[in-house]
Amino acid sequence: MSETALPSNFTILAIETSCDETAAAVVRGGRTIISSVVASQIDEHRRYGGIVPEVASRQHILALPAVIEAALSRLPDGLAQVHAVAATYGPGLSGALLTGLNAAKAMAWARDLPFVGVNHLEAHIYANWLLPGEHASSDTPLALSDMPPAPQFPLVALVVSGGHTLLALLEDHGQYRLLGQTRDDAAGEAFDKAARIMGLGYPGGPAIQQAAEHAPGGVTLPRAWLRDSYDFSFSGLKTAVLHQVQSRQTREAKVATKADGAATQQRTPKGESPDSFDKYIAQLAYAFQESVVDVLVTKTVDAARAFGATEIVLAGGVAANARLRAELKRRASVPVRYPPLALCTDNAAMIAAAAFYRFASGRQSDWDLDVVPNLKLA
Ligand code: KG4
Ligand code: ZN
């Protein structure tokens, strides 16, 4: 069932509100992005050093009308050109999910359109079906023969986001086999927590990647291999970072540096110049990133080999990590695909892509579909 029976101009409006991005997108034929609008709430949450659910729900309600309108504005006849409406129904924050799910249902109901509920984790994987670059904003769909090929099954998907870390085998659209997942923190969560410990701010992933660029080597951190399993564990690594920072601080006098509005403080040990402490933090950031990347890449490459995958797809916010992308490409023996940066983090175009293939296989949702905050992939 790798081919779909839906027409290539089948147009889906999708909404994503599972966490801290309010997003809407219009996607044609499951692959061509007509519009993708993302309103980030990151500034609202930054002061707390993490996401506050009530703040997220309120911001979604405030942002949704304008975000949906902006997404539809790329269609000359707006909603009249849409064939189905989709929204994320889980996993995520329940209040936040409700805002987008209800908005999508209301629009579908009012226009007598089919409605498709989408699993956010599945959608991250489907970001790999979307066409980036010059095709992305095209109003005229490419002829099927001109389209870059879609991912080929069977494939191994590594989903690494702020809330999830999992390795799955996809045998066809909608056919998942969960190979492994995190036993504690998600990879992105580990980046965020470690960055906070190191005083690098929020969100932690980009901050750690940037700090790591300045100081290779010097510090080593452990890797949690969990032998004979495709599961992951990152909480021990986070604790190792904490111990490193604390032991560096035992001799210290606390010197608070400018906290630029974040709930983080940088502490400089006594007698140590801020420059050398910054260098130490950069080395720690590098070691942390190496440890996470090594484990993620090793298990993904092993799984691809063990299950005869024809390719590897990377997905989720942490797929934006340059070191992870490069190392996976270097060590994999099959092609590695990852979405462009803007489609790695939460967006609604990926929801539309997943909805297209769901709908194509006859999986439309009922009006009573509720949010499922802990929805699983398989
Ligand atoms: O997929 P996403 O936008 O949200 C969830 O569904 O969770 O992922 C957000 C996560 C955050 O934890 C953020 O720190 C991480 O993705 N992230 C990165 C990078 N960019 C974002 N992690 C590592 N390196 C990056 N460059
Ligand atoms: Zn996500």
Q: How far is the CA of 345 from the centre of ligand 1 (A)?
A: 6
pTM confidence score: 0.89
Mean pLDDT across the chain, nearest whole number?
A: 89
- Decide if pLDDT at 110 tops 50: yes
Of 369 and 140, more confident: 369
Question: Residue of the nearest CA to atom 1 in ligand 1?
Answer: 317
Query: Rounded to 5 degrees, what are φ and ψ at 178?
Result: -75, 120
DSSP label at 338? -
Residues 6+ apart with CB under 8 A from 355: 12, 14, 84, 86, 116, 118
- Number of other CB atoms surrounding residue 163 within 10 Å: 20
pLDDT at site 54: 85
Q: Is the CB of 91 under 6 A from ligand 1?
A: no
- Locate 268 and state its tokens: 């400089």
Across residues 80-88, what is the average pLDDT?
A: 98
Which pLDDT score, from 0 to 100, does residue 10 have?
Answer: 97
- Tens digit of each residue's pLDDT (9 = 90 or more) over 140-174: 656 666 778 999 999 999 999 998 999 999 999 99
Q: What is the pLDDT of residue 43?
A: 78
> Using one digit for the tens of pLDDT, what is the confidence trace for 226-241?
999 999 999 999 999 9
Confidence of residue 75 (pLDDT cuts 50, 70, 90): very high
Q: Exposed/middle/buried for 261, CB within 10 Å: 0-12, 13-18, 19+?
A: exposed
Q: Is the CB of 180 under 6 A from ligand 1?
A: no
| Alpha-carbon separation of residue 2 from 69, 117, 150, 170, 172 (angstroms) | 33, 20, 10, 11, 6
What's the whole-number mean pLDDT along residues 232-256?
A: 81
Residue 82: the pLDDT is 98
Number of neighbours of residue 73 by Cβ within 10 angstroms: 12
Q: Is 347 in the pocket of ligand 1 (CB under 6 A)?
A: no
Average pLDDT over residues 89-98: 97
Let me know: does 214 contact 187? Beta carbons within 8 Å.
no
95 confidence band (pLDDT: 50, 70, 90): very high
Task: From residue 373, give the alpha-carbon distance in Å to each of 19, 128, 187.
Answer: 11, 24, 19
Q: What pLDDT is recorded for position 267?
A: 52
